[in-house]
């Protein structure tokens, strides 16, 4: 009897507690579900899917949802890409390409001349029998945590190719350890749960009530968000990036599309670190010795005694080898002495030690390479391609404006590499096959449109080139650029370029008119032409801006903020 009683007690206990445990879970979930439905019914909050139904010239399409970024940005700081629409109908012979990435992929400082635009005209000119749709979803300040839901949202849009150019914002972007946008330092399951919760109407309401509205402050917002390379948080950054990239590729491939992953090209030679930190265990005596050696090296470098300066810097490195700016000084001396291989190693190390981590580092690019290889994606190694096209194999201002945003030459170079990769495996219905001579990536491929040809088709006028140069000069007048060791050199170069005379308005207008005749339905051409015309003919400018609407009913504003009907 005793044995029987003892064996039944646990069973009775489970029968007693199981309904109570189930009720304690089920009832809150049910109440939350009811609250979520009620908020939706009463119009509280907004949908956060990537796209919403719309019409383009009366035809059904999926248009970018302006509220999609809400789970990733504080109220008042939502960043959006250039508005885009994806036609619901995809005619035979159409090749649909989606570009995913951050501001460098978007084409900042002007998406009208980003690499995706160069790629579009290259494909259009060399394969006229095929219709190419190149949709650029790149956006400022996002990272791989945002790219995954973007890929999920695009997977049902019958894509033929995804291009992934990402990795610059893994530390400073949403949920990174150096971000000013969201909570940071979280594990990947917690991050994905947070994204889901913030996408619900309940989550939106709680975020609105619990978060003070802030304004976007550019890169200055991150000045107090330094993360050293040796921080244990960087391990999670790399793991999260690899997982997100792997999952993004998987989503894209399940849609039936090809996937191209590119490494990131960054400015090494002409972009000094934004911030540096000493190693934690550096004592005061050692710091004084280090500072004296660096000052000695600086004085010698100023007097162009580069060999002696290098010796002083290397002695300082023996005391503290974690200071990013010292690595840049060493690299600069090695460059002056003609040891370019060693210079590249130290320039790369300076970037990797930079504690304001706005550039993809070596490990991020290694992850791009390894995940692409193991996940069935194709690789375009932009980092190496740019190095081969740079003086002495070190990427600088020729191809990258400041830290990551590409110059026209850089955008063309990346587009050309993408073109060669895409063209090598285009489907047979194009009716054409590119004759790539000299291997997969020939030095001067005769079948690829030249940079000048592309820029003529894009109406990249002398006026626009000067406008962008002046914009970049203004950008460099603010932190963190003002904190860089070579800031005065950067400003001097852009000041000289920005002082060049502008071309005549008639010449600029003629260039736009020629390009629009070649591609009358290019809304980006109409948009930039409208902006240009605003100071000369406001009625004509308004007409061009109307033609630039990405979808029916999209609000259009003049440069002075005036709405255009």
Residues 109, 467 contacting (CB under 8 angstroms) = no
Domain membership flag for residue 173:
yes
- Decide which of 309, 338, 353 is a domain's last residue: 353
426 falls in which pLDDT band (50, 70, 90)? confident
Does residue 554 fall inside a structural domain? yes
On the 0-12 / 13-18 / 19+ scale of CB atoms within 10 A, 183 is exposed
| Confidence (pLDDT) at 31 | 65
Cα 342 from Cα 346, distance rounded (Å) = 6
pLDDT of residue 82: 86
Q: Is residue 46 part of a domain?
A: no
- Alpha-carbon dihedral angle through residues 548, 553, 555, 557, given to the nearest 10 degrees: 50
**pLDDT attached to residue 184:** 72
Are 209 and 302 members of one domain? Answer: no
Question: Does 435 score more than 50 pLDDT?
Answer: no
User: Which pLDDT does position 1 carry in this prediction?
Assistant: 43
Kindly tell me the sign of the dihedral angle through the C-alpha atoms of 474, 478, 481, 482. Answer: positive
Whether 307 contacts 327, CB under 8 Å: no
- Cα 195 from Cα 210, distance rounded (Å): 16
Does residue 400 lie in a domain region? no
Residue 75 in any domain: the answer is yes
344: domain CATH number is 1.25.40.10
Q: How confident is the model at residue 375 (pLDDT cuts 50, 70, 90)?
A: very high
With H, G, I as helix, E, B as strand and everything else as coil, classify residue 324.
Answer: helix
Count CB-CB contacts under 10 A for residue 438.
10
Note whether 347 and 206 are same-domain residues.
no
| pLDDT for 102 beyond 80 | yes
* Signed CA dihedral, 177, 179, 180, 182: sign only: negative
Are both 171 and 248 inside the same structural domain?
Answer: yes
419 and 531 assigned to the same domain: no
493 is a domain residue: no
Residue 121 falls inside a structural domain: yes
Inter-CA distances, 514 with 88, 202, 460, 510, 517, Å: 30, 52, 12, 6, 5
CB 50 within 8 A of CB 146: no
Given a cut of 50, whether residue 437 has pLDDT beyond it is no
Phi, psi of 380 (to 5 degrees): -115, 110
As a whole number, mean pLDDT of residues 366-374 equals: 98
pLDDT above 80 for 211: no
Residue with structure tokens 């995954």? 148
The 10s digit of each residue's pLDDT in 141-159 is 999 999 999 999 999 999 9
Do 208 and 311 belong together in one domain?
no
Q: Minimal CA–CA distance to 258: which of 127, 420, 376? A: 376
CB 265 within 8 A of CB 415: no
Q: Containing domain of residue 63, as a range? A: 51-214+238-261+360-381+411-436
Tell me the sheet residues that pair with 101: 165
Of the candidate ranges 102-111, 195-204, 377-386, 516-525, the one whose mean pLDDT is the lowest: 195-204
In 3-state terms, what secondary structure has residue 213? coil
Residue 242's pLDDT band (boundaries 50, 70, 90)? very high
Sheet holding 378-380, edge to edge: 131-136, 94-101, 161-165, 258-262, 378-380
The total of other beta-carbon atoms located within 10 Å of residue 302's CB is 9
Q: What is the CATH number of the domain that holds 75?
A: 3.40.50.1110
Mean pLDDT of 248-273: 98
175 and 296 housed in the same domain: no
Q: How many CB atoms lie within 10 A of CB 134?
A: 20
The number of distinct structural domains making up the chain is: 3
Q: What is the pLDDT of residue 424?
A: 86
Residue 499 covered by a domain: no
Helix axes 462-475, 523-533, angle to 10 degrees: 80
Instruction: State the Cα–Cα distance between residues 288 and 34, nearest whole angstrom.
Output: 65
Q: Give the chain's mean pLDDT.
A: 90
Q: What is the mean pLDDT of residues 306-322?
A: 98
Same domain, yes or no, for 415 and 317? no
Regarding whether 369 and 292 lie in a shared domain, the answer is no
Residue 211: CB atoms within 10 A of its CB come to 13
Q: E-assigned strands of 34-84? A: 51-56, 59-64
Instruction: Kindly give, in sequence order, each residue whose CB lies less than 8 Å from that of residue 380, ignoring residues fewer than 6 positions away.
Output: 260, 261, 262, 263, 414, 417, 418, 421
Q: Are residues 250 and 308 in the same domain?
A: no
Question: What's the confidence (pLDDT) of residue 21?
Answer: 65
pLDDT at 215 (0 to 100): 79
By C-alpha distance, which of 535, 268, 211 is closest to 392?
Answer: 268
Apex 340 CA angle, 338 and 344, nearest 5: 145
| Co-location of 300 and 364 in the same domain | no
Residue 328 has pLDDT above 70, yes or no: yes
529 burial level (CB within 10 Å; 0-12, 13-18, 19+): buried
Q: Please indicate, yes or no, whether residues 57 and 193 belong to a single structural domain of this protein.
A: yes
User: Which segment of 86-95, 102-111, 422-431 scores lowest on mean pLDDT?
Assistant: 422-431
Final residue of a structural domain among 334, 353, 372:
353
129 shares a domain with 57: yes
- Interior angle at CA 237, CA 186 and CA 199, nearest 5: 45
- Per the CB < 8 A criterion, the answer to whether 423 and 442 are in contact is no
Residue 400 per-residue DSSP state? B
Handedness of CA 225, 227, 232, 236 (dihedral sign): positive
Instruction: Round to whole Å and give the CA distance between 396 and 392.
Output: 10
């Amino acid at each position: 009897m005793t044995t029987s009683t003892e064996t039944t007690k646990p069973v009775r206990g489970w029968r007693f507690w199981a309904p109570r445990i189930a009720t304690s879970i089920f009832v809150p979930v049910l109440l939350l579900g009811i609250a979520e439905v009620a908020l939706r019914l009463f119009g509280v909050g907004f949908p956060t899917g990537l796209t919403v139904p719309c019409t383009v010239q009366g035809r059904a399409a999926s248009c970018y949802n302006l509220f999609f970024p809400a789970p990733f940005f504080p109220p008042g700081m939502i960043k959006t890409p250039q508005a885009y629409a994806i036609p619901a109908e995809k005619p035979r012979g159409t090749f649909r390409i989606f570009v995913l990435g951050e501001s460098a992929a978007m084409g900042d400082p002007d998406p009208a001349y980003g690499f995706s635009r160069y790629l579009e005209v290259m494909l259009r000119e060399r394969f006229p029998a095929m219709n190419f749709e190149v949709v650029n979803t790149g956006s400022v300040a996002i990272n791989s945590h945002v790219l995954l839901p973007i890929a999920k949202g695009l997977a049902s849009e019958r894509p033929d190719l995804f291009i992934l150019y990402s990795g610059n914002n893994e530390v400073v972007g949403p949920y990174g350890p150096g971000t000013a946008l969201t909570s940071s330092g979280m594990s990947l399951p917690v991050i994905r749960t947070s994204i889901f919760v913030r996408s619900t109407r309940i989550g939106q309401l709680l975020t609105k009530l619990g978060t003070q509205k802030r304004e976007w402050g550019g890169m200055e917002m991150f000045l107090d968000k330094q993360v050293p390379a040796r921080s244990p948080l960087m391990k999670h950054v790399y793991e999260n990036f690899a997982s997100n990239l792997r999952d993004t590729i998987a989503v894209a491939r399940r849609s039936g599309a090809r996937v191209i992953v590119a490494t990131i090209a960054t400015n090494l030679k002409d972009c000094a670190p934004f911030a540096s930190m000493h190693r934690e265990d550096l004592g005061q005596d050692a710091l004084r010795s280090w500072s004296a050696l660096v000052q000695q090296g600086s004085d010698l470098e100023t007097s162009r005694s580069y060999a002696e300066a290098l010796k002083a810097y290397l002695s300082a490195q023996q005391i503290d080898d974690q200071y990013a700016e010292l690595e840049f000084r060493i690299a600069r001396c090695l460059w002056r002495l003609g040891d370019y291989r060693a210079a590249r190693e130290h320039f790369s190390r300076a970037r990797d030690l930079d504690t304001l981590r706005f550039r993809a580092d070596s490990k991020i690019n290694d992850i791009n390479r390894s995940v692409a290889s193991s996940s069935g994606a194709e690789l375009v190694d932009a980092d190496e391609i740019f190095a081969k096209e740079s003086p002495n194999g070190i990427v600088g201002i020729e191809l990258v404006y400041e830290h990551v945003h590409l110059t026209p030459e850089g955008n063309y170079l990346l587009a050309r590499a993408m073109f060669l990769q895409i063209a090598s495996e285009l489907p047979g219905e194009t009716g054409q096959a590119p004759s790539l001579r000299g291997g997969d990536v020939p030095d001067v491929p005769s079948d690829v449109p030249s940079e000048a040809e592309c820029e003529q088709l894009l109406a990249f006028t002398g006026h626009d080139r000067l406008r962008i140069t002046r914009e970049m000069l203004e950008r460099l007048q603010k932190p963190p650029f003002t904190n860089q060791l070579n800031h005065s050199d950067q400003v001097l170069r852009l000041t000289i370029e920005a002082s060049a005379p502008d071309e005549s308005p008639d010449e600029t207008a003629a260039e736009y008119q020629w390009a629009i005749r070649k591609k009358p339905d290019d809304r980006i051409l109409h948009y930039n032409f409208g902006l240009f015309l605003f100071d000369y003919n406001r009625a004509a400018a308004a007409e061009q801006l109307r033609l630039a609407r990405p979808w029916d009913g999209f609000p259009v504003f003049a440069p002075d903020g005036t709405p255009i009907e």
